Amino acid sequence: MKGYDPLAIESKWQKIWEERGVFKVERDVHKPKYYVLEMFPYPSGRIHMGHVRNYTLGDIVARVKRMKGYNVLHPMGWDAFGLPAENAALKQGIHPAKWTYSNIEYMKIQLKKLGFSYDWDREFATCDPEYYKFEQRFFIELYEKGLAYRSKSLVNWCESCQTVLANEQVEEGKCWRCGEVVTVKEMEGWFFKITQYAEELLEDLKKLDGYWPEKVILMQRNWIGKSEGAEINFYVPLIDKQITVFTTRPDTLFGVTFLALSPEHPLALEIAEATSLREKLLEFRERVRRERKKIEEELVEKEGFYLGAYALHPLTKEEIPLYTANFVLMEYGTGAIMGVPAHDQRDFEFAQKYRLPIKVVIKPETQELQPESMESAYEGSGVMVNSGEFTGLASEEGKRKIVEKLEALGLGKRKITYRLRDWGISRQRYWGCPIPMIYCERCGIVPERLENLPVILPLNAQIDSRGRSPLPELKEFVETTCPRCGGKGRRETDTFDTFVESSWYFARFTCPKDPQPLNKEDVAYWLPVDQYIGGIEHAILHLLYARFFTKALRDLGYLHIDEPFKRLLTQGMVIKETYKCPKHGWIYPEEVSSDGFCLKEGCGEKVLVGKPEKMSKSKCNVVDPDRLIEKYGADTVRLFVSFAAPPEKDLEWSDHGIEGAYRFLRRIYNLVAENADLLREVSFSEEEFKELTPPAKKLRRKLHQMVKKVHQDFEERMHFNTGIASIMEFINFLQDSLKELDLRDETNRKLLKEALEKTLLCLSPVCPHICEELWQRLGNESLIAQESFPQWSEELIKEETITLVIQVNGKVRDQIEVASGLAKEEALELVMQLPKIQKYLKNKTIKNVVFVPDKLINIVVD
RNA sequence: GCGGGAGUGGCGGAAUGGUAGACGCUCCGGACUUAGGAUCCGGUGGGGUUAUCCCCGUGGGGGUUCAAGUCCCCCCUCCCGCACCA
C-alpha cells in the first residue's frame, strides 16, 4: 500500500474537474443562486499567503453552498492595470502589457494548483479593451448626467508615483502605495460626483448592518462624515459681499468674536486686495499649502492674520474682525468659520494667540465660566447666556430657534455637510484605462463617440525613464479629430484611477462575454454578490467606490440593486515573526542558528526576534505558497490556513502548525486506505442501523453531532477553525472506537463506511483533493465535489445519558451519569445520596435548588 | 484627542449566563526501531496532597445573579481607524 502522495492525487483530480467542467456555471432560474466572490488580485507576479487564505475561505464557501444545492457563481479575474507594471517596465525593460500578462499566466497556474473551484471560463483581465471599453462608456454616460466632471482643485500629489491621489488614498500624509510624502498641488482633473450619493451611501449602510463587519460600517460612516448645522451669512461692508460660514453650533452665534477664512477662500483674496494685503495672503497661502499634509509630527501651530476688514454680526450687527487662518480648510463646509473661542477649542487656541476676546454664551449645568480664567473651551451643551432674546434657552433648543430666526431674516439656513469629497480619478499614468475625452479648440471638452470606443491604450509606447507617462508625447494617440465638429482635437492623456476597474468587475463576472456591458438577465439573476471576501485594507477605498458605482450604474439603468455586496467577510492578515540582526538588518529564518545567532557571513551577532508582523519580502518573513504546495500539497495548505485562526483574525504562520495539518491528512488517508478493500462493496441504509450495540450507537451519535456542528460552523457561522476541530475530534474518537470494533461483523463495516463517507463529505470543502480520492477508493463513482452535504438526524444526536454537574453554592462538587430527561425531583433525590454532596450539606439548610435539565443541579445552602 | 476592537495555559485558539481551556502546536514520559526530526500510546493551567482529594485561576477592582470568561460600572494595557471636518 502506498502512502499519502498529495501531488499525485491533486493533479489527478484537478484534471478530472477541469475535463468534466465541474465548476462551470450558467444562469438557471430554476435553481437558487449563490454568488461568492473574493477580491481579485493584482497580477504582481506570484500568489502570496494572503491570497491563499482569502481564496481558500472563498472556496470553502463556494463548495459548501454547492453541496447545499445552490447554483454557485465563483469567478476569478485580474485587476490588471496599475503602477507596478510601469515600475517593472522601467527596471527590467519589459513592456507593462507583457509583464502583466505573463504574471497572469503564472499566477493562474498557482491558483489552479490550489484546487479552487472557479469557473475559469469567466476570467478576464481589466487591461483588456474588451473590458475597459465599457468602463469608458459608463464614464461618458456619467459625464452626460453630470456625475463626472472636470475641475481645477488642490490635489494630493505623489512625486514618486508622478500622479495625483484621491483623498482616500492618502494615509497619514503619505501615499497609500509607495509611502512617499504627499504634497498639495493645484491641478485640473476628472472627478466622479460621489458626494451626490453621500446621503444614500450613509443611509444604506443600515442595510448592511449585521451582514458587514461593524468596524467597516463604522469606518465608512466616519469617512462620509455627515454633520448637521447651519450656514450663516455675515455681511462685509468693505467689499459689499456676504461671507457664508458653516457651523454645527448655531447656538453659540452670540459668542462669535472673529471670522476666519481659509487662505484659499476667494473672498480672502478679494478682501486682501482691498486692504493691500494681497502679497501677504499669497505668501501665507503658499506656505500653508506646503505644510498642509504635515509630516508625522503633531499638528502645525494655528496661525493666521487680520485681513484689515470686518463683517457684521447677522443679529447684533456688531463688527467682527476678519482673519485668515491656516486651520480653516477650503474643502470642508464653506471654507469659512465663525470663531467662538469660548466654545470651540480650535477657536480658543487661535484667540489666545492673537488676543481675541472670549465671550461665554453657553453656561454649563455645574460650573460658572469666566473668560479670564478659562484654560480650554467649553464644548458641551448648557443654558444660553448673553444671547439676547435667546438667553435662558437650552442650547439644543437654541440651535433650532436661532436657525429659524436667521431663516426668517434670510441670513442663514439649515445645512448638512459631509466630509466626503468627490472622487478624483485622473491619474497621470500610462498603464491605465484612457479617459475617453477630447479637447477641441472650438467645442471645448467633448466625449468620444460611443461607436468609437474603446479608446485603446497604445501598446507601442516607450516607457519614459523619468517615470512619466509617455502618452502626452505619443502623437498618434493625442492627435485626433473632434467628434463634434470634425476639427483638430487633443485626446485626454490621463488614465483612470485603477479603482474604477474594480468598482464594477463583480457585475461583469455575471456576463463576461456579453456584447452589452451588463446583460440584464444575468445581473438580475446573479447580483448582488452574496458573500464577498477580502482584506480589511479595502474597508474604505474599494468598498466605498464599488458601492458608489453600483448606485450610479443603477441610475444609468444598468443595475437593479442598491448595494453590491450583501455579506462581507474581512479576513485578517497572514503574519509571521521577524528576525533582525544588528549588523545585517532583517534576515531569513534560515540565517538564524538554532540558538539564535546570525549565520550570515559568519556574523554571529545575537538575533532579535520580532513579534509577528504582516508578511513582506522586505522583512524576510514570507513563506512561499509554491514551496508549501510542493512539500505538503494544496490540501494541507488549505487545511492549515482555515484551521489555525478564525477568518477575521490575523493568522500566525507556524511551521509546526502546518506539519500538524499534514499529519492529520495522513492519518485520514491511512485510515481510509487501510479499510478501503474491506468497505468498497459495503452498502448501508438507515434501516440496517435500527438495532445497534451501545458503542455502535455512540459512534453514530458522535458522527451525527459532528456533521451538524460542521454544517453550522461552515455554512452559518463561517468559523471554519471550529468546524475542522470537530472533524478532528471525531476522527480521534473513530480511531479509538476502531480498536474495539470487530470489522468481521457486517453491521460494523456498514457503520464504518457511513462514518468515513460522511467525514469525507464534511472535510471536502476544505481539502477537496484527498476527499475526492478517498471517496473514490471507498467505491463511489460520483465526484464528491458534486455530492450533497450530508444529512444528520436530530433524533440520533440526542444523548441517552448525560453528565449531570452537581454544584453546592455554585461550586462544582461532583458529577454523575444519569439518563437524559431526568426531572428535578428525581435528580435531587439521587444527588442527596452522594456521600460527597452529603459532606457539603451537613448541618446546612437547603435554601434553593436550581435545576437546568440535562446540565446541572445547584443546591444553595446557607 | 475622538471612535472602535481585544486582553483566556508555554503558543494558536475553544466555550447559547451553566464542568474554563474543545481542537491543534510545543514540551515531557513510554512503545516500536540500527536510527528517528517517522509512527503509535499516555501526560501537559498553577499550587498543595497524592489512594484520594482540596485550594487558586479568563488584565485589575467593584457589582448583578443560585451561577459571570460571558451582563453592568470604574481602571490598566495593547492593537486598529480617523485626526485642526467648524
Read off the pLDDT of residues A137-149 as tens digits, 9 standing for 90 and up: 999 999 999 999 9
Q: Residue A297: pLDDT above 60?
A: no
Cell of A285: 497661502
A214 touches strand B (CB under 7 A): yes
A150: β partners: A190
Residue A798, sorted as left (phi over 0), alpha (psi -120 to 50) or beta, turns out to be beta
How high is the pLDDT of residue A452?
Answer: 93
Which nucleotides along chain B are within 7 A of a protein C-beta?
3-5, 11-16, 18-20, 22-26, 38-42, 54-55, 66-68, 81-86
Instruction: Kindly tell me if the per-residue pLDDT of A179 is higher than 50.
Output: yes
- Residues 400-439/A with CB within 7 Å of nucleic chain B are 417, 419
Average pLDDT across chain A, whole number? 91
pLDDT exceeds 50 at position A529? yes
Query: If you average pLDDT over residues A796-801, what whole number do you get?
Result: 84
Highest mean pLDDT among A129-138, A461-470, A692-701: A129-138
* Window A310-329, strand B contacts by Cβ < 7 Å: 326-329
Closest CA to A725 of A808, A798, A642: A642
Q: What is the pLDDT of residues A803-830, one digit of tens each?
A: 888 888 888 888 888 888 888 888 888 8
Among candidates A233, A250, A324, A223, which has minimal Cα distance to A282?
Answer: A324
Report the alpha-carbon distance of residue A618 to residue A10 in Å, rounded. Answer: 32
- pLDDT tens for residues A563-608? 999 999 999 999 988 888 888 888 888 888 777 788 888 787 888 8
Percent of chain A with pLDDT over 70: 99
Nearest nucleotide (CA of A664 to C1'): B24
pLDDT band at A295 (very low <50, low <70, confident <90, very high): very low
> Closest Cα to residue A641, out of A18, A48, A7?
A48
Taking 70 as the threshold, does the pLDDT of residue A293 lie above it? no
Query: Is strand B within 7 Å of residue A185 (CB)?
Result: no
Higher pLDDT, A803 or A642: A642
CB A711 under 7 Å to nucleic chain B? no
Q: What is the pLDDT of residue A2?
A: 58
Question: Looking at the predicted structure, is the pLDDT value of residue A744 above 70?
Answer: yes
Q: Kindly list the distances between the CA atom of residue A148 and the CA atoms of A139, A254, A427, in Å, as whole numbers in the listed order.
A: 7, 41, 15
Does position A1 have pLDDT exceeding 50, yes or no? no
d(CA A810, CA A615): 47
More confident of the two residues A578 and A268 = A268
Contacting residues 722-781/A vs strand B (CB within 7 A)? 722, 724-725, 728-729, 732, 735-736
- The answer to whether some atom of strand B lies closer than 7 Å to the beta carbon of A341 is no
- pTM of the full structure: 0.93
In this prediction, residues A730-752 reach a mean pLDDT of: 89
Confidence band, pLDDT 50/70/90 cuts, at residue A633: very high
From the CA of A219, how many Å to the C1' of B3? 9
Which SS3 state, helix, strand or coil, does residue A581 take? strand
What is the mean pLDDT of the segment spanning A145-174?
Answer: 82
What number is the average pLDDT over the span A214-234?
Answer: 93
**Residue A542 confidence (pLDDT) above 70:** yes
The three cell numbers locating residue A296: 508625522
Q: What is the rounded distance in angstroms from the CA atom of residue A461 to the CA atom of residue A447?
A: 23
A686 CB neighbour count, 10 Å cutoff:
10
Q: Among A778, A696, A697, A704, which Cα is nearest to A740's?
A: A696
The amino acid that residue A263 corresponds to is P
What average pLDDT does this structure show over A194-208? 94
Task: Provide CB contacts within 8 A for A154, sequence distance 6+.
Answer: A184, A185, A186, A264, A289, A330, A331
A800 Cβ partners below 8 Å, 6+ apart? A697, A819, A820
The CA–C1' separation of A843 and B55, in angstroms, is 22
- The Cα–Cα gap between A528 and A550 comes to 10
Nearest nt (C1') from A249 Cα: B86
Residue-wise pLDDT tens digits, A306-349: 999 999 999 999 999 999 999 999 989 999 999 999 999 999 99
The predicted model gives A465-469 an average pLDDT of: 80
- Please report, rounded to whole angstroms, the spatial distance between the CA atom of protein residue A75 and the C1' atom of nucleotide B54: 61
Mean pLDDT within A49-62: 96
Higher pLDDT, A296 or A710: A710
Q: Other CB atoms closer than 10 Å to residue A304's CB: what's the count?
A: 22
Determine which of A635-644, A688-697, A727-736 has the lowest per-residue pLDDT on average: A688-697
CB contact set of A478 (below 8 Å; sequence gap of 6+): A471, A472, A490, A491, A493
Reported as half-sphere exposure (CB side, CA atoms, 13 A), residue A116 has a value of 29
Residue A637 has pLDDT above 70, yes or no: yes
Tell me which of A68-82, A158-172, A387-401, A524-538 is least confident.
A158-172
Q: Which residue has the cell 478532528?
A: A728
Does residue A780 carry a pLDDT above 70?
yes
- Say whether the CB atom of A188 is under 7 angstroms from strand B: no
